[in-house]
Amino acid sequence: MLHLTIFLIFGAICVAGAVNLLVQRHPINSALSLIVVMASLAVEYLLLGAEFVAAVQVIIYAGAIMVLFVFVIMLLNAGEEERTKGSRVAMIFGIPGMLVGSGLVAWVLLEHSGTHSVAAGALPGPPKTIAWLLFHEFLLPFEVTSVLVLIAIMGAVVLAGHPDSGGPAKKEG
């Protein structure tokens, strides 16, 4: 009962944050709404007994990635976005289409996914279990992901580097 109440409260906060993200016109308000979504998702993970995932969700997403988002918005000094008049086609077909689509996804997940519901806290959550899984069963995907991240970093360095000079750009003055 307590679990259900907390789930509903934070689920509602999560959805409200997500809607607010779309409705807000100022980018910084949208970014802050996204932080609210991340934080309430972390609470939902906590309810499932996945304490490690919840903590990492807050540290990585809310604490590091979103800081960079906010940082970039502040640096660019992005102002309020202008509202377009909005196309009538989007209003007529878009909203019902979205509702039907999400209803369909929910129905498929509930009826045909083949998974049975698991009691709260029954899934493996302690960091030791996660570490064991990562370094034994999922070692190859884990390492491949790290190589992917490395490629992304190298790509960012190449893109950010000066196009003319091969080495690091010389200091001016």
Partner 1 sequence: MVAGGTPALHRKTALLSVGTFVLISIIKIVIALIVLLTAVAYTVWLERKVVGHIQNRWGPTRVGPFGLLQPLADGVKFIFKEDLTPPHVYKPLYIAAPMISLIFALTSIAVIPVGNWVTVGGIHTPLQITDVNMGLLIVLGITSMGVYGVALAGWSSNSKYSLLGSLRASAQMVSYEVSLGLSLIGVLIMAGSFSLRDIVDAQGGAYWHVIPRWNIFQGQIFGFFIYLTAAFAETNRIPFDLPEAETELVAGYHTEYSSMKFAMFFMAEYANMITVACLASLLFLGGWHGPLFGPAWLQAILPLFWFALRIFGFLFVYIWVRGTLPRFRYDQLMAFGWKFLLPLAIANLMITGLIVAWKS
Min dist. Cβ of residue 76 to partner 1 (A):
11
Nearer Cβ to partner 1, position 78 or 95? Answer: 78
Residue labelled with tokens 């009826």? 111
Contact between 34 and 17 (Cβ < 8 Å): yes
Given the rule CB under 8 A, which of 64-72, 88-96, 100-108, 134-142 is the region that contacts partner 1?
A: 64-72
Min dist. Cβ of residue 83 to partner 1 (A):
19
Contact between 125 and 51 (Cβ < 8 Å): yes
Question: Phi then psi for 61, rounded to 5 degrees?
Answer: -75, -55
Under rule CB under 8 A, residue 71 binds partner 1: yes
Taking CB under 8 A as the criterion, which residues in 127-156 touch partner 1? 127
Residue labelled with tokens 């604490």? 63
Which x/- pattern over 78-117 shows residues binding partner 1 (rule: CB under 8 A)?
----------------------------------------
Say how far apart CA 102 and CA 97 lie, in whole Å: 9
Given the rule CB under 8 A, which of 42-50, 95-103, 107-115, 160-168 is the region that contacts partner 1?
A: 42-50
Q: Estimate to the nearest angstrom the gap between the alpha carbon of 105 and the chain centroid.
A: 19
Nearest to 10 by CA among 38, 31, 41: 41
Say how far apart CA 129 and CA 118 lie, in whole Å: 18
Binding positions for partner 1, rule: CB under 8 A: 6, 28, 32, 35, 43, 46, 49, 51-52, 54-56, 58-59, 62-64, 67-68, 70-71, 74-75, 120-121, 126-127
